[in-house]
Amino acid sequence: MNKEFFSGKKVLVIGLGRFGGGVDVAKFAVRAGAKVIVTDLVPAEQLSHSINQLEQFSDIEFHLGSHDPADFKQADVIVANPAVPRNNEFLELARRHNRFITSQINIFFELCPAQKIGITGANGKSTTTALTAHLLKNAGNKQVWLSGNIGNQPLLTSLEQIKANDLVVLELSSFQLEQLAQIQKAPNIALLTNLTPNHLDRYRKFEDYCAAKVNIFKFQELNDKSPAVSIFNTEDNIATKWFERFSKDKGRICIRFSADDVSPEIRDSFTLPGRANLSNLAAAVTIAKHFGIDDESIKKSLPDFKALSHRLELVEQINGVCWYNDSKATTPQSAIAALEAFDEPVIIIAGGYDKNISFDELGRKIAKKAKTAILIGQTASKIADSIKACPQNQTQNEFADSLLKAVQTANRLADSGDIVLLSPACASYDMFDNFEHRGCEFTKFVRQLTD
């Protein structure tokens, strides 16, 4: 495949989305000379931010609020958003009509000339990806691009600027890895942060989710002269099993990391709280050292690295209470990691869209670590039940029918020295557009407390 492949073709983009992926595909296809149709089940008024980014391209057709089967029968190329399952009925219709189906990430892997570093996992992958890019950029040896599921830079419309000697650091979701498996591609350097149950609203069982994630190693190109590099977290049970599995391969270098690997000198230069962030740091340092970056360079880089938005982000300190936005914590394990980051009394705001994940472990951690749980969204009662089921539970449960009321309740209950932590352990789609929308609303409500 090359860019000329799209010239003169009718390209159907399924899933405009709110994170920029569909916008990137549409811009790329138009500039490549394609006739572009964008279709999404979501109506136009909910996609205004994405639509506005395409207003300069007057030839793009928008079919929003529903899908027209005729589009899938007639398009030459269909580019599917990662959120669209492979067994989607409209994609099945396109296959029956022998349409060519691809994705943003697949096109990128086909066309990008640079070496790719891929990072995946259930938790910590965004911070690890951003931190890896930060360390590589500060070393100053190569041009470094940060993209993928983290969404910092568009994948396809950046292609013309990416050179063969550059490095591309990618956060890769399970959905993107499923798409890459269709063309049997994977990054030359691949890292797994950890694996815990997630997206069980899409996958029938945890093993299916793992099967999507393992593609990041399964399809690496093995070469004795330029071996694939596969990196695993020794503190994760599945990562340990995969290390044992893949370390037998010729043409592959397998490396392990642990939070305990971080030297005291490097740890002292790192500002993010909690052991989970130490594990993220260890992962990023492992990649940096693979590229020959020494401890002194790493130490100098770290003070400039700040928490990503919506990831244990300190919003305000009000009357001795610290308010943290951890809206990106969309799994129980990520919320557990957030709770473990603090020794102070914690009031946690949790709950959201139900992905059919167990909250038993989260309930035990809340019962042990939190003085109050303020619960919202579809999963509020499930999380409450998991807390109540714990012996010697002393955590007070409160319910709120909106995030604003949750913030107001937390403000009423918090004492000086407390932490108020939005760490939902769930996706946001029951009440918000996405985790960013939820985090921004939380930040707004907290700052209103000082007005």
pLDDT tens digits for range 346-377: 999 999 999 889 999 999 999 999 999 999 99
pLDDT at res. 21: 86
For residues 313-333, average pLDDT: 95
Q: 45: which 2 tokens?
A: 């008024």
- Total residues belonging to the chain: 451
User: Alpha helices, DSSP H only, in 182-303?
Assistant: 206-213, 215-218, 237-246, 264-268, 275-290, 295-301
Which helix H or strand E contains 231, and what residues bound it? strand 228-233
The stretch 52-64 carries a mean pLDDT of: 93
pLDDT exceeds 80 at position 28: yes
Q: Which of residues 17 and 238 earns the better pLDDT score?
A: 238
Question: Contact at 8 Å (CB) between 111 and 1?
Answer: yes
Two structure tokens written together for 193:
């942060």
Mean pLDDT value across residues 173-195: 97
Axis crossing angle, helix 275-290 with helix 332-340, rounded to the nearest 10? 100
N-terminal to C-terminal alpha carbon distance within the chain:
56
Does residue 2 register a pLDDT over 90? no
Closest CA to 106 of 98, 121, 116: 116
Average pLDDT of 412-434?
Answer: 95
The pLDDT score that the predictor gives to residue 1 is 83
Residue 101's CB: how many other CB atoms inside 10 A?
20
**Percent of the chain at pLDDT exceeding 90:** 88
Residue pLDDT, tens place only, 265-311: 999 999 998 899 999 999 999 999 999 999 999 999 999 998 889 99
Helix axis angle, 275-290 to 125-139, nearest 10°: 40
pLDDT of 151 > 80? The answer is no
Question: Is residue 52 over pLDDT 80?
Answer: yes
Query: 0.85 cut: is pTM over it?
Result: yes
pLDDT of residue 182 exceeding 80: yes
The amino acid present at 372, given as its one-letter code, is: T
String of DSSP letters for 25-83: HHHHHHHTT-EEEEEESS-GGGSHHHHHTTTT-TT-EEEESS--HHHHHH-SEEEE-TT
**251: phi then psi, degrees, rounded to nearest 5:** 80, 15
**Predicted confidence band at 153 (pLDDT cuts at 50, 70, 90)?**
confident
Query: DSSP class of residue 97?
Result: T
> Which of 107-121, 145-159, 250-264, 272-286 comes out lowest in average pLDDT?
145-159
Domains of the chain as residue ranges with CATH: 9-103 (3.40.50.720), 112-304 (3.40.1190.10), 313-448 (3.90.190.20)
